[in-house]
Structure 1
Amino acid sequence: MSSKPISMEKRYYPYEDFVADTRSLAQKIDWKFDTIIAIARGGLSLGHLLGESYDIREVFSINTIGYEDTIKLDQVKVFNIPELSEAKNVLIVDDIVDSGDTLIEVLNVLHKAYPTVNFRTASLFYKKTAKIAPDWYVQEADRWIEFFWSVDLNRKK
């Protein structure tokens, strides 16, 4: 039995769409939060822009590793957990909720570390097949999204 490579349909996501969708996401979020955590790396640009939009200085990142190149790992590793002892309501942001594994693991780690903090989630894209849905999102993803930050500045040519 031979295996053929699966051709994946891709969609380029330019900066202009990112700005428009971030503005749209900011308008959808109907919850008062005092802190933003961006899941690195994909959520960093979104976290920064939302911090500017809401004039929130408490913008942190949390790191995850769920893939080794294009190979999905058995378990998502979560590290660099921010100090949230002063936080009450925290918005966790990422570029896309694909399988949902990353978001689930980040929520598990943060709930365990900070059981009295309220966490909500937002992303630009969400796949209906994910195990978890963000509280707010802008678009449904039906193919692989090539974000401008991965394509436009890619030096691996």
Structure 2
Amino acid sequence: MAAVASSSSSPHPHAPLFFPMQPAPHQPPQPSAAQFALAEIKGHVCLVQAQLTPQGQVSAALAAADVHVFAHVFSTQFRFSHAAAVHPADLRIIAPVPAAQLLHEEHSGVVFLARELNLRLHQLQRQRQHQFQHQHQQGLRRPRAAGQVRAQTSAC
């Protein structure tokens, strides 16, 4: 049986040489000067961490923005979900989150939001879900009875 090659000069003596050292999935590499914000990504409202300008927008206007997305776990607790490169057309910063209204445990990838902010996030999610359902229900309405279908005319 072949033994896995390892080096005694490595900072991790039991780590094999051919595996790159990568951070654990729950410990994202933290971008410098990144700020938390409530954002809408492709129609979904979520908590993100990104490089923001003083005006509260993503710093890259034409290039894809690198964001860290945090998923809701429990009550006011969010956990790092994934990192994504999002095109500016698919990303809308709703409101930057002041540092005083959150607690970020970098070693575990957990963020705790203040209750008021958590309530605002849930309201935004419900509003977005309601808008989505309303838009799709309009296209799915059936005629009242057979034979009562109105002729649809184009508005050109």
What TM-score results when the alignment is normalised by the length of structure 1? 0.26
Greater fraction of residues in helix: 1
> Between Structure 1 and Structure 2, whose CA radius of gyration is higher?
2
| Higher relative contact order, structure no. (Cα contacts within 8 Å, ≥ 6 residues apart) | 1
